[in-house]
Amino acid sequence: MAQQIILASSSVTRKALMDRLNLNYLTISPDIDECAQAGETAQQLAYRLSIEKASVIATQYPDAIVISSDQVAWLAESPTELIGKPYTEQAAIQQLQRQSGKVLNFSTGVSVQCLAKNYRQTSVIPFQVKFRRLSNHEIQRYIQFDQPLHCAGSFKCESLGMTLFESMYGDDYTALMGLPLIQLCQYLRELEVPLP
């Protein structure tokens, strides 16, 4: 009998990424405080939150393989100022105006835990995008089309967000989307989950 797999997330994008692996899994959203602690870097925050999200669900389902992820963004010029989800069109416009022509960094954590097997692994995968110089008209038009109000940095790279970039840097572009599949697959293979 296959071991139960749980994605500790309510994200539609993370679910779409998990679906690529052709695995049977459940989604359960962990309820945790996602605020940064004083002095916490983006990498530290993504690492800590990934672990906490997985731990909440793994404690409830100790025999399951629990997968969680967290993503934090910041501009290269302002490493201590973390960029979150805009939630409103006005905030999304302001984010994209600020990011125009600049490099945006992402730290995306992935944690896999199975308490019954004493397995806990977590990594943070970096990724960068460089934005083109964007006009206000392009920004407003993009936001109307893609409605990226629940996306850190105010874009959806799996959709029209790609039109905003000049270049991308990183080993795994799925990290930019919110769930680093290359690292996740390595952890799943260690737990003997069959993957093609």
* CATH T-level assignment (fold) for domain 5-190: Maf protein (3.90.950)
The Cα–Cα gap between 36 and 125 comes to: 18
Tokens for 46, please give them: 């993504």
**Phi, psi of 78, deg, nearest 5:** -135, 70
Which residue among the candidates 19, 31, 70, 146 is catalytic per the annotation?
A: 70
- Among 35, 195, 55, 43, residue whose Cα is nearest residue 113: 55
**70 is annotated as an active-site residue:** yes
- Tell me the C-alpha distance between 144 and 138, whole Å: 10
Instruction: Tell me the pLDDT tens digit for each residue of 114-171.
Output: 999 999 999 999 999 999 999 999 999 999 999 999 998 999 998 999 999 999 999 9
The CA distance from 99 to 74, in Å, is 10
Mean pLDDT of 56-60: 97
**Max Cα distance, the chain (Å):** 55
Q: What span, in angstroms and rounded, lies between the C-alpha atoms of 30 and 77?
A: 32
Question: H-helix or E-strand containing 153?
Answer: none
Beta bridge partners of 105: 74, 128
Is residue 92 packed enough to be buried (19+ CB in 10 Å), middle (13-18) or exposed (0-12)?
Answer: buried
Percent of the chain with pLDDT over 70: 99
Q: What are the pLDDT digits (tens) for 73-124?
A: 999 888 888 998 899 999 999 999 999 999 999 999 999 999 999 999 999 9
